[in-house]
Amino acid sequence: MAKFPSIEWFKAIQDVANGDDRLRKLGTCDAVMGVKVRDKAYEITFEAFDCTGVREISEADLANTDFYLDMPYETWREMLENIKQNGKPDRQYTLNTIDFLAPEGFAKSDDQSKKDSFYRYGQTFQQFFNASAEIDTEFAAPATA
Amino acid sequence: MVQKTEKKSAATSATNGISDALRRKAISKNWPLVVVERALRGGVKEELLHQALDAGMTPLQAREMMVGGDHGEIKLSMAWAKVDTERGIRAEIGKKGLTIDAINVGSYADVPDLWPDQTMRPRGAYVKPGAVSMGYTIYSKAEVWADNLGELYEEAIQRRWRPATDIPWDTIETLPKDRERAIGQICTELCEYNYAVILALGKWVREVSYGFHEVKLFLSTVLFDAGRHYEAFRKRALANGSGLGVQATGDRLMPIREAMCYSEMATMVFMVNDSFVLSLYQLLAALAQNDAEVKLFTLAAQDKARHLAYGVEHTRFLIEHQPERRDEIRRYLLKGEEYIAKDRVADTPMREALAIHLGGGVKQIGEGFRRLDDFHRRQLQAYLGRVEAAGLENHQDVLWPELAADLQPAQA
């Protein structure tokens, strides 16, 4: 069981995603995606047909990614638990829907042309998170205010 | 007994020096034996004649090869193999396979700023005097180029999809009539937009000279994408009882059709209109009523984001290499914005259909219009972000006035 968020958790779904032909069949993807959960930040690199790198970074380094996903911890948890149920999200929990419904967006970047990677490879990023259904995730206790 | 038969079939006939096997094959392929005989007498090996027969060479072609009169020697020109092009190129195969960028090595990687050749000569091939003109009108690299063209072309090929089978059409269930009619109207207008893109690119892609083959290849994928989107949206409109709606006013399509130069058309399509359309695809995927619409509009958004990646990079390249055209490009942007703003007012069917979709039905139309204002603001902010990324900063200061109103927060 891997704890979310942690480098072990991201590496675990990287292994699942790369070992599954579905990611490859979506076609090539070259992008660096950031993930921000509470005070933790991660960088996930996609190159050609694979997810080639996962590492923890500082919050400041999120500026070096093409875009980063940022939403409250409880929304992360709801999304991942929903994915776990069916191996894919219900319509209200897709990355695109979450982004659309969030007033300030879910995918963020100072450079719109880089942020467009989020749409350009949308299926690939969705498949990456869908891979989390294959592992057991331990969620942290709710944060105290 | 068997051995004897094989020996006999391999034997050479006493007449004309032609083996039985060759004789039978020549007869079966309607070659006159005199041609075979002459070839053998001229020193052509029997094995070569077998190959020629197996390859389907006609007797006439065989005679033309043997131009040595009675001696029957085969004389090949081979001049084509000695022309002064760069040889010995061995492109490297990378993680994505052998890509169009990977074969841009040595002199083949040289994409000149001007390519005045009027013929279909592939870049790097030897010039053949007398080759006919194809009537190209675009010879300037800056007019069409972007440094990400090879990457985008390969991506378009890799990430292609098939509307007939990749979309789970069977997940569409009966919707309330107002919502079904709304999606039908939206799809009708999206069909029309994609048709306009097909017409515009179909006209311009033939004008680009072959020295910039990456441009022609990529634009061909955009043409195919637009055809696919037209097909897929028409299918959605006709899949669940809605049928098509009313034709669009078409204001936003006018400057695309009437563009006088490639960069004007590219700015209209790949910067202005595609930017607004990508946001619309995102909205439609987010408000999808079934898995078919989620996948349909997510896949369409992927294609559209790729087209925009060309638009931004092309504009950046053009301004960097021809900075004197900065104001010209800005005028094209404003022209596109003007027609988008006109469409916003005149296109009542699209406005109402989107409000019904956003509100969740005709009864919530008021909430739908409020959300539509929010959507237009985000749509415009994304557009301005792309214009800035292309190298045209502070465009919000000169934005077409009627469109600039979208930046104001919606009234509660």
Cβ-Cβ contacts under 8 Å for B188 (sequence gap 6 or more)? B233, B237, B244, B245, B246, B247, B248
Comparing CB atoms, the residue among B286, B305, B313 nearest residue A120 is B305
Q: From first to last of the 412 residues of chain B, give the pLDDT tens digit.
A: 444 444 444 445 445 789 999 999 999 988 888 888 888 887 778 888 888 888 888 887 777 666 544 445 567 788 888 899 999 999 999 999 999 999 999 999 999 999 989 999 999 999 988 999 999 999 999 999 999 999 999 999 999 999 999 999 999 999 999 999 999 999 999 999 999 999 999 999 999 999 999 999 999 999 999 999 999 999 999 999 989 999 988 888 999 999 999 999 999 999 999 999 999 999 999 999 999 999 999 999 999 999 999 999 999 999 999 999 999 999 999 999 999 999 999 999 999 999 999 999 999 999 999 999 999 999 999 999 999 999 999 999 999 999 998 887 755 4
Parse chain B into domains and list their residue ranges: 19-71, 141-407
Q: Report chain A residues whose CB lies below 8 A from the CB of B278.
A: 116, 119
Comparing CB atoms, the residue among B94, B291, B298 nearest residue A123 is B298
Q: Report chain B residues whose CB lies below 8 A from the CB of A111.
A: 385, 389
Tokens coding A113: 């042309």
Check residue A140 and give its pLDDT.
79
How far is B26 from B18, CA to CA, in rounded Å?
Answer: 10
Cβ-Cβ contacts under 8 Å for B119 (sequence gap 6 or more)? B128, B131, B132, B133, B134, B210
Identify residue B30 by its one-letter amino acid code: N
CATH code matching the domain that covers B141-407, chosen among 3.30.565.10, 1.10.620.20, 1.20.1250.20, 1.20.1090.10:
1.10.620.20
**Predicted confidence (pLDDT) per residue in B138-193, tens digit:** 999 999 999 999 999 999 999 999 999 999 999 999 999 999 999 999 999 999 99
- The yes-or-no verdict on residue A17 having pLDDT over 90 is yes
- Contact criterion met (CB below 8 Å) for B210 and B139: no
A67 and chain B in contact, CB less than 8 A: no
Contact A119 B309 (CB under 8 A): no
Locate the chain A residue with the closest alpha carbon to B382. A112
CA distance to A17, A53, B14, B50, per residue, from B29 (Å)? 56, 61, 22, 11
Identify residue B75 by its one-letter amino acid code: K
How far is B355 from B300, CA to CA, in rounded Å?
Answer: 21
Contact A116 B386 (CB under 8 A): yes
A122 and chain B in contact, CB less than 8 A: yes
How far is B357 from B288, CA to CA, in rounded Å?
Answer: 9
Scanning the structure block, which residue is given the tokens 């180029």?
B145
Percentage, residues of chain A above pLDDT 90: 92
ipTM (interface predicted TM): 0.96
Comparing CB atoms, the residue among A48, A96, A113 nearest residue B282 is A96
Beta bridge partners of A137: A2
Q: How confident is the model at residue A90 (pLDDT cuts 50, 70, 90)?
A: very high
How far is B181 from B362, CA to CA, in rounded Å?
Answer: 11
Comparing CB atoms, the residue among B158, B298, B306 nearest residue A96 is B298
Nearest to B90 by CA among B102, B101, B100: B102
Give the residue ranges of DSSP H helices in B45-148. 46-54, 59-65, 141-144
Distance from CA of A100 to the nearest CA of B (A): 6
Tokens coding B10: 């391999």
What CATH number belongs to A2-132? 3.30.1050.10
